[in-house]
């Protein structure tokens, strides 16, 4: 215990905030593995990482996400700075990425612009399985093309990511919510339909009826969901251009062998979406089954003050993704254990163990030694606890003779090594066996 008493008193001055979680060392390797897999797949498709601030001016999300959405009305963490400026912790990653692209004129590097991010987000929601107030998203954003091939390529990329993770319990649902022109007709049709049920709609949906009736389709209330079953569908109101675009996306997905179903009820939760929207959904993690969602948002850049530029992207929830992998019993590679643990006895032995540890680390091998003044028995026990493949005991005799014994902790086999200039030559012979 490094000579320090371990505190087991739980009378802490504070504990983690409700709706947040700690990712402990016993679990963080899973996050690292999945994050690397996702970023590697993004890089294969030409995407480069973008990092944006954790907070932005509140107006950015009001304009991009939409003032009538639940995110803006109920869920954002908004506060005033000491200077009186309204600031909001990012509730999603797209708006900040678009702002950064415009403010830094990334479009001058040529189109299309391809970026990805792995970021924390914050929404004041009711914590439940798969939903946290601080959560993490991996997302990809594509600016500068209105071609339906870009939509299909993005969806295929997500499909490839899930296949690389051996996730098969997912269904892809797609829809088109049209452009502002044809969506206006659809919104009016929805308003006419839902007005018949004013006495049954929940209070939230009543407030949506005049401002944004499409949001009613996304309501989780059982009564509102039942009413919405017979509501008009957006596909019946698509203009010729939007209908052609959606049909082309479907043709390309069929060509690539990506299976999907058309779900005319998908609207997504944020106002900036246009035309193609999609979700990857699982039935294995309860009610919060949408693992990934995205689509096209051709009006977002212009809404933020830039010149009109088509855009599309997606975000997937890391917590839900990891929960799904656990539910499906998908095993992830265990973290690398210590390659060699040097056990130093006495001051000369400890110094030599420290020196050799640094030398082995510099060669790219995970090595460790005692920094807690443990006894021989305690050091051996610790080496076993961290799963060290080899141990090397170094005392006065080993320092004087410049020779030591390296022991394979799994097989018990032993190898003689030199501690002089031939150290690496002799060490490598035993280590690679």
pLDDT tens digit string along 271-295? 778 999 999 999 888 777 899 999 9
Mean pLDDT over all residues of the chain?
93
How confident is the model over 113-142, as a mean pLDDT?
A: 92
Is residue 10 assigned to a domain?
A: no
How confident is the model over 102-106, as a mean pLDDT?
A: 97
Tell me which of 300, 327, 354 is where a domain ends: 327
- The CATH number covering residue 311 comes to 3.30.930.10
Residue-number span of the structural domain to which 419 is assigned: 340-431
Is residue 11 assigned to a domain?
A: no
Tell me which of 327, 356, 375 is where a domain ends: 327
- Sign of torsion, CA 16 22 24 26? positive
How confident is the model over 39-66, as a mean pLDDT?
A: 94
pLDDT at residue 60 tops 70:
yes
- The CATH number covering residue 408 comes to 3.40.50.800
CA 326 to chain centroid: 15
What ranges in 45-93 are assigned the alpha helix state H?
58-64, 70
CB 271 within 8 A of CB 219: no
Is residue 52 assigned to a domain?
A: yes
Same-domain check for residues 272 and 391: no
The CA distance from 117 to 297, in Å, is 18
Same-domain check for residues 92 and 62: yes
Same-domain check for residues 243 and 321: yes
pLDDT of residue 11: 82
Tell me which of 267, 296, 327 is where a domain ends: 327
pLDDT at residue 9 tops 60:
no
pLDDT at residue 6 tops 60:
no
The CA distance from 332 to 330, in Å, is 7
How confident is the model over 91-102, as a mean pLDDT?
A: 96
DSSP per residue over 121-151, as a string? EE-----BTTB-SEEEEEEEEEES---HHHH
Task: Report the run of H or E that residue 250 belongs to, with start and end.
Answer: helix 240-255
Pairing of strands 48-49, 113-122: parallel
Confidence of residue 316 (pLDDT cuts 50, 70, 90): very high
pLDDT at residue 5 tops 60:
no
| Buried b or exposed e, range 53-79, using 16+ CB within 10 angstroms | eebbebebbbbbbbebbbbbeebbbbe
Is residue 401 assigned to a domain?
A: yes
Same-domain check for residues 392 and 308: no
């Amino acid at each position: 215990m490094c000579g320090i008493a371990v505190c087991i008193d739980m009378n802490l001055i504070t504990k983690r905030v409700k709706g947040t979680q700690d990712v402990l060392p016993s679990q963080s390797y899973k996050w690292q593995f999945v994050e690397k897999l996702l970023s590697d797949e993004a890089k294969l498709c030409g995407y480069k990482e973008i990092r944006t601030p954790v907070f932005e001016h509140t107006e950015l999300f009001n304009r991009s996400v939409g003032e009538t959405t639940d995110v803006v009305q109920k869920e954002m963490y908004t506060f005033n700075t000491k200077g009186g400026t309204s600031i909001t912790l990012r509730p999603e990653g797209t708006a900040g990425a678009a702002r950064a692209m415009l403010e830094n004129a990334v479009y001058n590097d040529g189109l299309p612009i391809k970026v990805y991010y792995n970021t924390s987000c914050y929404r004041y929601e009711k914590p439940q399985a798969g939903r946290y107030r601080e959560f993490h998203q991996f997302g990809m954003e594509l600016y500068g093309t209105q071609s339906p091939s870009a939509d299909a390529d993005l969806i295929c990329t997500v499909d490839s990511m899930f296949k690389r993770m051996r996730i098969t319990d997912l269904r892809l649902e797609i829809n088109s919510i049209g452009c502002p022109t044809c969506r206006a007709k659809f919104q009016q049709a929805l308003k006419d339909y839902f007005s018949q049920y004013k006495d049954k709609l929940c209070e939230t949906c009543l407030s949506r009826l005049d401002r944004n009736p499409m949001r009613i389709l996304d309501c989780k209330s059982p009564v509102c969901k039942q009413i919405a079953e017979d509501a008009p569908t957006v596909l019946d109101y698509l203009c010729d251009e939007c209908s052609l675009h959606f049909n082309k996306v479907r043709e390309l997905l069929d060509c690539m062998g990506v299976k999907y179903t058309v779900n005319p009820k998908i609207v997504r939760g944020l106002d900036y979406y246009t035309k193609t929207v999609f979700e990857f959904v699982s039935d294995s993690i309860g009610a919060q089954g949408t693992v990934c969602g995205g689509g096209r948002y051709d009006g977002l850049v212009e809404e933020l003050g830039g010149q009109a530029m088509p855009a599309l992207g997606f975000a997937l929830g890391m917590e839900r993704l990891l929960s799904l992998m656990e539910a499906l019993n998908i095993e992830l590679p265990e973290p690398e254990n210590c390659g060699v643990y040097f056990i130093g006895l006495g001051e000369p032995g400890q110094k030599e163990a420290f020196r050799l540890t640094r030398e082995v680390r510099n060669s790219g091998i995970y090595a460790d030694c005692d920094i807690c003044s443990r006894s021989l028995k305690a050091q051996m026990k610790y080496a076993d606890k961290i799963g060290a493949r080899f141990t090397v005991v170094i005392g006065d005799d080993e320092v004087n003779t410049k020779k030591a014994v390296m022991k394979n902790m799994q097989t018990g086999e032993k190898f003689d090594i030199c501690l002089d200039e031939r150290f690496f030559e002799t060490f490598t012979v035993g280590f690679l066996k």
